[in-house]
Structure 1
């Protein structure tokens, strides 16, 4: 183990890591990981007798003496860590996170990412510092709150019982309850708490110094409880949205009491399936806004009494000119995986078929990331449905070009997807043979 810092270990989602391969990975590290996962009520990994098996989460976990980085994997299910692969997928993940969370800082290039498993945590801290610094320059929000205490002048309401208790021999003082207008606002407290956490977690000395300098100018505020849901913002506090999102990401993954002595730990982990869904959604929303289209997220409908189903995305495209405009509905389900032999599973195709019935959509698309020798598309028409006789439903397996050249993400992903869908409207798919 390095004497200058924690042992840094890189793994991949769904990888099973033999513990015998890493003598630097101590039982104390594994115990700390177990406790952190238990405290967060999470399912990031499974600890086995002689191995550690990871699930679909990617990101970083930092406990005393260990920095564990988990990267995404799609192109080769047997791939394990290597310097070249690590740098490639670290860059991909950081770009995807920056795009989804609209981070205001640049993703480090490949040269600066070499052997840098801490880059992800530093990236989010740098974005938080940028947003917090902007809020400070604009002026932090203030609010009125009630304060009880001794004062040298009578202000507010005199609290007789406390006044007698505290000032029996101090006639020059008054124990009062009065209104104070200052920066003691929960939003300011949450951001300060996140900045304080960040100073002890980032690996970049320059970023740590900048964070400490920002804290010197941030008002001293008492800590508050970290909310389970994001606080409601109003017209005056809407500008806090991005800084608050970043602060809560850090605070919710933080555990200050893993063991006695305030050993701190932080987990910045993301469900890769959800991240890919949000990444595709943002690209489609931006592209659809310029293409007479509309994207709906979290759109659920009742499937059976007490049971609702929700496709990842519902995309509506309008073609033709008025008054002969036609609206077309597409159901998209994103899958951060490669199906076996590049063929979608029967369960996934059946689920898409059910979605199309409820939404009266003519096209259901399973959207995978393209990797290796994956085909561009597989497209077939479902058998005619007795329950939707007027809708010819087509099922698609579309392998989206998520990556551009090298580890650079494809900026035109949304347009590429819509181009494919528009093309499918004018091309007939193969009709399956009806059963006898």
Structure 2
């Protein structure tokens, strides 16, 4: 290397806090542009200090490694505002409201999300496999030189007309290569590819992977196999719910242009929305009618060209909308909540012919309402304090559910 060329300083591990203040980092231009193009956080060059970048995290939390086209690796860690245990409650309840208490795992020793998730999954996987690897029947169809199971006569005639061998057969095989084990193996391997997994947890995951080696590896890009809860696979349920998180929405392993991203990130906006909607659905169960998450088939205009999708709609037995809810993961500012949220819910109420609607925020004043001029519609704004024990949080959800049922709140008067 020429003495006239100054090497780039090593890229530091970038540590930010969800919705925190911007933090200045000295980064090579390529690294700064990589972060800006990732869409994970707000990234702007400092106009007064060349080589420095202002980085600000939004609602994405977790950890990821970004690799630039030049091969430079950038490690990014974004800490949630909520305690890890509280975040795991929201996540667990949204996935499995009936079993969240049984699925609880102590994560107090982990301050970061990814190590806590890996630890939680490893503990649940160990419990699932403690009594041995689950086996089940899998139907196999193949061309064979031996008759096994039953002969698929139509395929035999079409493929081997007039020949005795080979034989097209179908048989049920008792095996560990079933969807449950395939998903657990895939989630285990996914975690092992992620950064910042503690050494002890990684060692245990490697041991579990060896026990699942006879389950087929899932092919990236293919549809994941389905599994159905039953008495036979009940000990697998907690681990399978976590495996679904690891393999679906929260896992980041893709290429954006020339940028390679590998990590695990939660969008707190979606997590809050999922929790609120599932908790309302559970509380309203048994009060009649039906609930729908992410309302479908709703349009703002008479020509049905402008589609709208409220987060939560409660219908009565005749199919008419009884209440509409939108969840917003944002805290109230000194000047109040954004007016745009009111406009959005007003559109929902108008399309659904409702006299009232409900906005639920992550934090703010407990309740306020606005009667819309010339519309006869009242919009209620509720706030949930997420940083409280689960019992209190679910109690607040129940109070909001009561407001949805209450005639005074449901009326625009």
TM-score by length of 1: 0.65
Identify the residue that residue 297 of structure 1 maps to in structure 2. Answer: 293
Residue correspondence of structure 1 range 236-255 to structure 2 within 5 A: 243=239, 246-251=242-247, 253=251, 255=253
Q: Per the alignment, in what secondary structure is the counterpart of residue 15 of structure 2?
A: strand
Which deviates further from its counterpart, 100-109 or 278-287?
100-109
CA RMSD in angstroms, aligned pairs only: 4.5
In the TM superposition, what is the alpha-carbon distance from 1:359 to its structure 2 partner? 1.4
Q: Is the 8 A contact 1:226 1:248 kept in 2?
A: no
2:402 is the counterpart of 1:399: no
The CA distance in 2 between the partners of 1:179 and 1:127, in whole Å, is 38
Structure-to-structure mapping, 1:26-425, within 5 angstroms: 30=31, 34=34, 43-49=39-45, 50-62=53-65, 68-73=76-81, 89-102=83-96, 105-108=103-106, 110=108, 112-113=109-110, 115-123=111-119, 125-126=121-122, 129=125, 133=129, 137-146=133-142, 155=146, 181=173, 182-185=175-178, 188-199=181-192, 201=194, 203-227=197-221, 230-233=224-227, 243=239, 246-251=242-247, 253=251, 255=253, 266-289=262-285, 291-292=287-288, 294-300=290-296, 301-304=298-301, 305-315=304-314, 329-341=322-334, 343-370=336-363, 374-385=364-375, 392-404=376-388, 410-422=393-405, 425=408
| Superposed CA offset, 1:284-324 (max 9, x none) | 12211255574321213122443210111113589xxxxxx
The CA distance in 2 between the partners of 1:219 and 1:91, in whole Å, is 32
CA distance in 2, matches of 1:129, 1:235: 16
The residue that corresponds to 1:322 in the other structure is: none
Q: CA deviation at 1:395?
A: 1.1
User: TM-score normalised to the size of structure 2?
Assistant: 0.68
1:329 is displaced (CA, Å) by 1.9
Measured at CA, do residues 272 and 135 of structure 1 come closer, stay the same or move farther in structure 2, by a change above 3 Å? farther
Q: Structure 2 CA distance, aligned partners of 1:221 and 1:422?
A: 49
Q: Note closer, same or farther for the CA distance 1:186–1:294 as it changes in structure 2 (3 Å cut).
A: closer
Given that 1:43 and 1:55 are in contact with CA atoms closer than 8 Å, whether structure 2 keeps it comes out as no
| Deviation readout 1:40-93 (Å, 9 max, x if unpaired) | xx63224433133333222232579876332345xxxxxxxxxxxxxx543432
Question: How far has the Cα of 1:382 moved from its partner?
Answer: 1.9
Q: Distance in 1 between matches of 2:55 and 2:391?
A: 30
CA contact (8 A) 1:316 1:330 kept: yes
Deviation at 1:183, TM superposition (A): 4.4
The 2-side partners of 1:346 and 1:212 are apart by 51
Matched pairs, number = 356
